Amino acid sequence: MEVKVFAEKLFAAGREVGFDAMEAYVASRNLFRVGVFKSEIDSYTLAQSRGLSFRGLINGRMGYSFTENLSEDSVALLVDDARANAAVIDSEDPEEIFGGSPEATYADVCSFSPALEQVLAAEKIAWVKEVEQQAYGLDVRVSTVQVSLGNSSGETMLMNTKGLNLAHQGNFADGYVAAVVKEGEDTKSAYAFFSSRDFSRFDPVTLSKEAVDEAISLLGAESIESGQYPVLLRHDVAGEFLATFASSFSAEAVQKGLSLLKDKQGEQIMSSNVTIIDDPHLPERPNSAPFDAEGVATASKEVVAAGRLMTLLHNLKTAKKDGVNSTGNAYKMAFNAPVTVAPTNLYIQPGKRDYADLVAHIEHGLIIIAVQGTHSGANPVSGDFSLSAYGYLVQGGQVVRPVNQVTIAGNFFKMLSDVQEVGNDLHFKMGSIAAPSLLIGSLAVSGK
Amino acid sequence: MLAKPLLEDILLAGLSTGGDFAEVFVEDRFSTILSMIGGKVDSGVSGRDYGIGVRILKGTNYVYAYTNDYSRDNLIKVAKEAAAAISPETISRNITLSFMKDEPLHINPIRIYPHEIVKQDKVSLMARAYHAAKEYDPVISQVMVRYFDEDQKVQIANSLGLYVEDERVRTRTAITAIASKGPEKQSGTYAPGAHMGFEFYDNIKIEDYAQEAARIASTMIHAPYAPSGRIPVIIDNEFGGVIFHEACGHSLEATSVAKKTSVFADKLGEKIASSVVSAVDDGTIPNAWGSLNVDDEGHVSQRNLLIEAGVLKGYMVDLYNGRRMNVPATGNSRRQSYKFAPTSRMTNTFILPGSHTREEIIASTEYGLFARYMGGGSVNPATGEFNFAVNEGYMVRNGKLAEPVRGATLIGQGSDVLLKIDMVADNLACGQGMCGSISGSLPADVGQPTIRVSEMIVGGRKGDK
């Protein structure tokens, strides 16, 4: 059924059972992905999907339901489910159905490239095969290469009974090159991730070289003596740290007692060379949008300015509770998830020094190029982490050898209070949270 | 669910360009998630996922397509698009399909379906958990309870004539307690679940799990940081099995074995673990969290011996990777939903009981770490390097448990740690987890008796060794 027709039927059915205000949130997506293994296509995905999430206020409580089946008989199911879910809500902070931000505040965010839709499947297959071939040709020690490339396009629509009617379209392409290299019994692997709306920016030579060179550079890695070391977190690792602990900036986490940033607004929480920005209008990123999951107009903001906490991230409910305005950070993890709070494109503002310059300034320390297990070894509530890591040992400003089988441990906020230098190498590789390389004064490293 | 003639037409459209195997997977899933924080329900979502996945193989070429537009015209169009990706040319073939309906054994009987229980009863269960955790100790500052249930109906048909319908009902309640002391916070989590209806909560006492979550948090808030270094580690039973899941299980999945990206590829019959280690993947345990009647290719679930007395005996194999490996599938092909192509995954994976007792293991350890509860972890299947978090740890000194320690991470290499397991106790138990890999996030049991690893790298924060 046509989405708008379905929404009208849904709102009519909802009114009959006593819903005061209602919203239909629809996400549709088309997806293509191809992967090769030894010149054969070993994964190829074509997909179209559409889901509708319904929420409505009844007796002052918000009930949610969803469906992927937009047929007539889903209308009653949605309304009944939402009503039953609303009945058990006993949180005192009501959610609201939003009437809309002033028209002029909805930015013109371009997230769709018609050119990307014109790239033929055959071109993408040829590209993936070329990358694979390039990677195998780079070094005899390359034992396995996996390449994946995909693109998706989608539309988000938000319609409600308060007259709000918003839509935003986007498309995007991304993928990875994974290289496994072997020397005797020593096996190492590395990834090169890429994402853009411009297919012509994916260079087979650069990407295959990035993955293979990194894997080769790790051969012969060994652990090091446990101790305190100055540590350079490469940009992707620094970004992963920011992503892991980004929930600390959510007003929802603070209000629920799940963040250390309670009552910290205006205070120095990090080193003065750290500035963190959430910019929902970055032209190149897939999450960029003129409105958030509640229909509030989005805007760029400094979350941390020179180490001081400027604002938490809010949706309508958390803003009301704190007596402030929503920052346009209402978020749904999937079309059918409840509204929470999350950054859109969060990043640490780059500094002036390039990566090589940062390495040159390390007398005796480590470069960390990957951490593992952030979902288990890092606690976003306490800020504590202890993570498996690998990278390189640096002496006298020179990389001397690869290092693995170590863990780095500390506390996120303490670590960001000990940032000595911020690199100029900010790259969004995948996802929507990124950072430049950060030189940390000292971290606990466990090894031998 | 789709009618058989339509399924047949989709399969034929899928084979129209020379594919040698086609499969249709139909999913209709109802699920409910309720979350409670501070004793109050703050969100409740329920709904219906519905979609169809079509898979076509030609040798080792592979195409997967999915949609949730279930009109006949669209489904045939999707199958034809997928077929066109296998080969551009249509081949005229005379294929007759005759479905043999398989009646899978219902090894996971369901008594009380989630829709038969009113939401208020689910909320009452959550409230019991909340109170048990909150009132355990004054240091518990916050408690979150998340209730989940799902009823997933699937229909699987393939061009070999297989036709299966199955229904998977699961429920789980996760309790997270947070202890606070000044600016510090520590958390403890326990999340029991089963391939079962609401009767699960008659079989267990939710308060016990909630109090255990609170006990972990309140123990850890008073604990100093763990030391660092290479020391003996005793890993307790139940969720401690995550070590085997990460360190070894993923590397025994055909997904990485078939492409020889696993450290255990081509090692059948070889000794890969210490001789005290035997392990299985068993999808047939009635009502266990990771159990299946049939897998997502319609294959009846099995108990698969992986390691016997340290010798590698078998892998977990799906149909597609089985083609590369030239071995039959083992009932391990799984997917999160129709939005994922299925591949080899674990079900309930555990180390079998040994001859020692937990007490003997502790008593024979002069100095080391006792990991009572493990958190999650991850592994790089290519290198076998793994990591996981210790949620509740204790130091062992002179054969006795000493002070609790927080913040420890265990790291190592799967192939290495398996050889260093030197004691296995007799107290096998399993815990529930969600396992993430290329075919999505899936319910899986991990398990083991208490084991000792003679030496592991413990990453803590205290600089000493």
- Count, in order, helices (H) and strands (E) of chain B: 10, 23
Residue A412: what pLDDT?
96
CA distances from A204 to A39, A134, A181, A194 (A): 15, 7, 18, 11
Among the ranges given (A54-63, B177-186, B456-465), the one the predictor scored with the smallest mean pLDDT: B456-465
User: Which residues of chain B does A384 touch, with a Cβ-Cβ cutoff of 8 Å?
Assistant: 406-407
**Are A409 and B407 inside 8 Å of each other by CB?**
yes
Provide the b/e sequence for B208-222 (b: ≥16 CB within 10 Å): ebbbbbbbbbbbbbe
> Chain A to chain B, count of Cβ pairs less than 8 Å apart?
252
Instruction: Find, in chain B, the residue whose alpha carbon is nearest to that of A64.
Output: B45
Amino acid at B406: R
Contact A46/B120, CB-based, under 8 Å? no
pLDDT at B182: 86
DSSP strand pairing (B100-101 vs A61-67): unpaired
B360: in domain: yes
Q: Which helix (H) or strand (E) holds B322?
A: helix B319-325
Q: Which homologous superfamily is A3-31+45-105 in? A: PmbA/TldD superfamily (3.30.2290.10)
Hey, are the CB atoms on B85 and A382 less than 8 Å from each other? no
Q: How far is CA B164 from CA A35, B4, B60, B286, B380, in A?
A: 30, 11, 24, 19, 35
Q: B79: which chain A residues are within 8 Å (Cβ-Cβ)?
A: none
Give the distance from residue A103's alpha carbon to the nearest chain B alpha carbon, in angstroms: 30
Distance CA B165, CA B206 (A): 32
Does the pLDDT value for residue B460 go beyond 80?
no
From chain B, the residues in CB contact with A404 under 8 A are 385
Specify the residue for token string 């100790």: B137
DSSP string, A17-39: HT-SEEEEEEEEEEEEEEEEETT
Judged on CB neighbours under 10 Å (0-12, 13-18, 19+), B160 is middle
Q: Which amino acid is at B94?
A: N
Decide: B110 and B196 in contact? Cβ < 8 Å: yes
Q: Quick one: B356 and B375 in the same domain?
A: yes
Place of tokens 């004064």: A441
Q: Check B380 against A372: CB less than 8 A apart.
A: yes
Query: Looking at beta carbons, which residues of chain B come within 8 Å of A49?
Result: 51, 66-68, 339
Q: Do A377 and B49 touch (CB under 8 A)?
A: no
| Three-class HEC string of A293-327 | CCCCECCCEEEEECCEECCCECCHHHHHHHCCCCC
* Chain centroid to CA B426: 23
Tell which residue, B57, B91, B28, has the closest CA to residue B333: B57
Is residue B120 within a helix (H) or strand (E), and if so which, with residue range?
Answer: helix B119-134
Are both B122 and B53 inside the same structural domain? no
Give the C-alpha distances (Å, rounded to integers) separating B224 from A1, A216, B158, B234, B395. Answer: 60, 39, 57, 19, 11
pLDDT given at position A340: 95
* Alpha-carbon span B355 to B425, nearest angstrom: 6
Helix H segments across A221-272? Answer: 235-245, 251-255
Closest A-chain CA to B183: A260
| pLDDT recorded at residue A309 | 98
Contact B457 A447 (CB under 8 A): yes
A88 contacts on B by Cβ (under 8 Å)? 34, 41, 44, 119-120, 122-123
Whether residue B94 has pLDDT greater than 80:
no
Task: Kindly report the number of other CB atoms within 10 A of residue B355's CB atom.
Answer: 11
Residue B214 sits in a domain whose CATH number is 3.30.2290.10
Contact B40 A382 (CB under 8 A): no
Does one domain contain both B208 and B274?
no
Q: What's the confidence (pLDDT) of residue B465?
A: 37
Of B113, B13, B89, B115, the residue nearest B54 (C-alpha): B13
The kind and range of the H/E element at A208 are helix A204-217
The yes-or-no verdict on residue B143 having pLDDT over 70 is yes
| List of chain A residues whose C-beta atoms are within 8 Å of the C-beta of residue B382 | 144, 180, 187-189
Is B369 part of any domain? yes
Task: Say whether A114-153+166-217 and A3-31+45-105 share the same fold.
Answer: yes
Q: Are A162 and A192 within 8 A, CB to CB?
A: no
Interhelix angle B72-86/B4-14, rounded to 10 degrees, is 30
Residue of A44, A90, A258 with shortest CB distance to B62:
A44
Q: Looking at chain A, which residue has its C-alpha nearest residue B321? A: A42
For residue A351 the two structure tokens come to 């500094």
Contact B47 A81 (CB under 8 A): yes
Selection from A279, A334, A288, A278 nearest residue A111 by Cα: A288
pLDDT > 90 fraction of chain B, expressed in percent and rounded: 82
Same domain for B204 and B259, yes or no, is: no
User: What average pLDDT does this structure show over B399-408?
Assistant: 94
Q: Which segment of A378-382, B297-301, B361-365 scores lowest on mean pLDDT?
A: A378-382
* pLDDT greater than 50 at residue B407: yes
Decide if B40 is inside a domain: no
Most B CBs within 10 A among A407, A412, A442, hence the mutation to make, goes to: A407
Name which of B67, B85, B409 is nearest A407 (Cβ-Cβ): B409
- Residues in CB range of B254: below 8 A, 6 or more apart: B315, B316, B317, B318, B321, B322, B324, B325, B332, B343, B344
C-alpha–C-alpha distance, residues A443 and A173, integer Å:
37
Spatial CA neighbour of A70 closest among A14, A4, A153: A4
User: Which string of DSSP letters, residue by residue, matches A255-266?
Assistant: HTT--TTTT-TT
- Cα(B42)–Cα(A408) distance, integer angstroms: 36
DSSP B116: G
Cα B283 to Cα B331: distance, rounded to the nearest angstrom: 8
Q: What whole-number distance in Å separates Cα of residue A414 and Cα of residue A400? A: 28
Are B316 and B252 a contacting pair, CB within 8 Å?
Answer: yes
CB atoms within 10 A of CB A8: 13
3-state secondary structure of A3: helix
Do B289 and B369 lie in one domain? The reply is yes
The rounded mean pLDDT for chain B is: 93
Q: Is the separation of the CB atoms in A249 and A260 below 8 Å? A: no
Instruction: Determine the distance in angstroms separating the CA of A162 from the nearest CA of chain B, rounded to an integer.
Output: 22
The CA distance from A299 to A278, in Å, is: 8
What is the three-class DSSP state of B115? helix
Run of H or E residues at A122: helix A121-138
d(C-alpha A58, C-alpha A84), whole Å? 10
Q: Which residue has the tokens 């993890």?
A: A333
Amino acid at A149: L
The nearest CA of chain B is from the CA of A436 a distance in Å of: 25
Whether residue B374 sits in one domain with residue B441: yes
Asked if residue B310 and residue B190 are part of one domain, the reply reads: no
Radius of gyration, CA atoms only, chain B: 24
Q: How many domains does chain B have?
A: 3
- B464: in domain: no
The answer to whether residue B427 is domain-embedded is yes
Q: How confident is the model at residue B464 (pLDDT cuts 50, 70, 90)?
A: very low
Judge whether residue B186 has pLDDT over 60. Answer: yes
Tell me, what's the pLDDT at B102?
Answer: 66
- In the three-class reduction of DSSP (H, G, I as helix; E, B as strand; rest coil), residue A411 is classed as strand
Residue B127 DSSP SS3: helix
Residue B222 corresponds to which tokens in the numbers above? 């008073």
Chain B residues touching residue A129 (CB < 8 angstroms): none
Same domain, B208 and B257: no
CA B355 to chain A, closest CA, distance in angstroms equals 31
Residues of A in contact with B411 (CB under 8 A): 388, 405-407
Q: Which candidate in A250, A252, A382 is best for mutational testing of the B interface (most B CBs within 10 A)?
A: A382
Statement to judge: residues B269 and B315 lie in one domain:
yes
Give me the amino acid identity at B425: A
Which chain B residues are Cβ-neighbours of A87 within 8 angstroms? 119-120
Provide the 8-state DSSP code for A104.
Answer: G
**Count of residues for chain A?**
448
B85 with A409: Cβ contact below 8 A: no
For B230, the closest of A372, A388, A448 (CB atoms) is: A448
Subunit contact B459:A409, Cβ cutoff 8 A: yes
H or E element: which one contains B409? Answer: strand B409-413
DSSP letter string, B234-294: EE-SGGGGHHHIIIIIGGGBHHHHTTT-STTTT-TTSB-S-TT--EEEETTSTT-TT--SB
How far apart are the CA of B427 and the nearest CA of chain A, in angstroms? 25
Asked whether residue B283 falls in the same domain as residue B362, the answer is: yes
Mean pLDDT for the stretch of residues B422-446: 96
Pick the CATH number of A114-153+166-217 from 2.60.120.10, 3.30.420.40, 3.40.50.11690, 3.30.2290.10: 3.30.2290.10
Residues near B37 by beta carbon (within 8 Å), at least 6 away in sequence = A256, B142, B143, B144, B145
Q: Evaluate whether residue B157 is within a structural domain.
A: no
Tens of pLDDT along chain A (448 residues)?
Answer: 789 999 999 999 999 999 999 999 999 999 999 999 888 888 899 999 999 999 999 999 999 999 999 888 899 999 999 999 999 998 777 789 999 999 999 999 989 999 999 999 999 999 999 999 999 999 999 999 999 999 999 999 999 999 999 999 999 999 999 999 999 989 999 999 999 999 999 999 999 999 999 999 999 999 999 899 999 999 999 999 999 999 999 999 999 888 999 999 999 999 999 999 999 999 889 999 999 999 999 999 999 999 999 999 999 999 999 999 999 999 999 999 999 999 999 999 999 999 999 999 999 999 999 999 888 889 888 898 989 999 999 999 999 999 999 999 999 999 999 999 999 999 998 789 999 999 999 999 988 8
Contact A47 B43 (CB under 8 A): no
Which residue of chain A is at minimal alpha-carbon distance from B177? A258
Question: The tokens 């190029």 sit on which residue?
Answer: A369
Q: Which domain holds residue B118?
A: 114-151+168-221
Write out chain A residues lying below 8 Å of B407, CB-based: 384, 386, 409
Identify whether residues B260 and B200 lie together within a single domain.
no
In the prediction, which pLDDT does B462 show? 60
CB B243 within 8 A of CB A376: no
Q: Which chain B positions have a beta carbon within 8 Å of A40's beta carbon?
A: 60-61
Taking the C-alpha atoms of residue B182 and residue B10, their distance in angstroms, rounded to an integer, is 63
Q: Is residue B158 part of a domain?
A: no
B28: which chain A residues are within 8 Å (Cβ-Cβ)? 69
Alpha helices in A88-166 (DSSP H): 114-117, 121-138
Give chain A positions within 8 Å (CB) of B413: 405
The conformation of residue A424, written as its DSSP 8-state character, comes to S
Closest CA in chain A for residue B342: A43
Angle between helices A72-87 and A3-17 (to 10 degrees): 40
DSSP H helical segments within A139-203, as ranges? none
Burial class (CB in 10 A: 0-12, 13-18, 19+), A397: middle
- The chain A residue lying nearest B227, using CA atoms, is A446
Alpha-carbon distance B321 to B333, whole Å? 10
d(CA A14, CA A10): 6
Q: Report residue B105's pLDDT band, with 50, 70 and 90 as the boundaries.
A: confident
Given the structure tokens 């509860």, which residue do they identify? B373
Please choose, from the candidates B23, B21, B2, B207, the residue with its C-alpha nearest in 3D space to the C-alpha of residue B125: B207
Interface test with B, best of A46, A146, A369 (most B CBs within 10 A): A46
Whether the complex's predicted ipTM is more than 0.90 is answered with no
Q: Do B409 and A45 touch (CB under 8 A)?
A: no
B460–A256 C-beta distance less than 8 A: no
Question: Is A373's CB within 8 Å of B387's CB?
Answer: yes
Residue among A87, A337, A446 minimizing CB distance to B119 = A87
